[in-house]
Amino acid sequence: MQKTGTFDGMPGSELRHDPVQRRWVIVASERGRRPVEFSRASSVREGGVGRCPFCVGNEGLTPKEIARYGSGPGGDWKVRVVPNKFPALRVEGELRRSAAGQYDRMSGVGAHEVIIETPDHGREMADLPVEHLALVLRAYRDRIVDLRNDTRLKYILVFKNSGLDAGASLPHAHSQVMATPVTPRTVVMELVAAREHYRLKERCIFCDIMEAEHEAGSRVVLMDAHFTTHCPYASRFPFEMVVYPRRHMADYVRCDDELLMHLARHLKEVLRRMNKALNNPGFNMVLHTAPSVNGAPLRSSYWDTLEADWHWHFEILPRISNVAGFEWGTGFYINPTPPEDAAAFMRQVDL
C-alpha cells in the first residue's frame, strides 16, 4: 500500500488533483514536523545568542543561504534568502505524473524558500526603513527571476504570514516563496477574468478598477504618483486591501530598483496605517504576478493577451475575523465591515 505523502513509494511531497473542485492539493507529511516557536519566550536570548534560527548570529541554524542583501565589511546582512528547512515542495527530483485510479497526481517538485526580512528579532516589516524594505522587495523580484529558469515550474508565489493567526510558525519577520509545477486555480480564475475582459473591451480590468476606485474615492486607502491601495468593492474580509502599480505592468519583475523604492515607501505607510488602526493584527500578504515559462511571462495561444490584460498586485488580508462553516460550504464570505468604512478609518489614522 502506498504511504501517504509519497510518490511511487519514495518519501516526500506529492500533488493530488481534486476532479470535482478542479484544484491541486499538496500532501506534505514532513511539514508536520515543523517546530512551532511563536512564543516570544521561546526565543529569549541567552548569552547574547537566541534560539531563533533567523536571528543574526544563528545563520548556521538555517540551510545554506541562497542570497543575502546589504552585506557590510564584517559580513553583516539586512536580508537573507534560505531554503525552507521543512519544504512543502522540493527542487530536487524529477517531475513525474501518473494516475491513481480515477485521480491524477504529480511528484512534489517545486521550490520553497524563506526570505528573512531583518536580522532584528523584534522588528516587523512596517518598522523597517524604506531603504531596507526596498531590499526585501528586491529579493522578491530576484527570486522570481531566478526560479523562472527552472522549466518545470509554472507559477511562483511570494507571500507573507505575519502572526500566529495568519499561519506563521516563527515570530521573526519573514516572507516565503513557493514555486509550483502548475498554475494555482485562484490565479487561473483571475487570469481568465482578465483575458475575457480584455477581449470584450480591449482594456485591462485592473486599470478599469483603479480608475473607478479613484473616481469614487470612498474605498481608497492611499494613493500616490506610483501606487494605489484600496479596499476592494467586494471585500471578503474586514480591512482587506489590494495594492496596484498605477502604470500598467503585467509582471512584477519589470520593477526596477527606483520603482521598488517607491513601492517600499507606499507599502510601509499602508502597513503602518493598518497596524495603528487595528492594533498590530496578524495578516497575510500575497503577490500575484504573471505566470511564466523559461524565464519570461507565459506566452501561448491561450494567454495571448497577457501583457495587455494582466496587472500584478499585492493582496493584504488582516486576520481579524474567522472563516467558518458558511464560508467553507458555499464560497460566500460574510464581511461585517463595509470596505468604505474600513478605508475611511485607515485614511483618518494619525501617523
Residues tagged active-site: 174
d(CA 315, CA 231): 10
DSSP-derived pairing of the beta strands 241-245 and 220-223: unpaired
CA-CA distances (angstroms) from residue 80 to 40, 134, 246, 309, 319? 21, 13, 29, 34, 26
Q: Report yes or no: 339 and 209 within 8 Å, Cβ to Cβ.
A: no
d(CA 262, CA 201): 31
Grid cell, residue 185, equals 486555480
Grid cell, residue 29, equals 507529511
Q: Report yes or no: 145 and 290 within 8 Å, Cβ to Cβ.
A: no
DSSP-derived pairing of the beta strands 155-162 and 67-69: unpaired
CA–centroid distance for 330 within its chain: 25
All residues at 6 or more sequence positions from 218 whose CB lies less than 8 Å from its CB, including other chains: 340, 343, 344
Q: Report yes or no: 160 and 288 within 8 Å, Cβ to Cβ.
A: no
All residues at 6 or more sequence positions from 75 whose CB lies less than 8 Å from its CB, including other chains: none
Q: Report yes or no: 139 and 115 within 8 Å, Cβ to Cβ.
A: yes
Which residue matches cell numbers 458558511? Answer: 326
Which residue matches cell numbers 506610483? Answer: 226
Grid cell, residue 348, equals 483618518
As a 3-state breakdown, the chain gives helix, strand, coil percent values, each rounded to 5, of: 30, 25, 45
d(CA 346, CA 114): 30
d(CA 140, CA 138): 5
Q: What Rg, from alpha-carbon coordinates, does the chain have?
A: 21
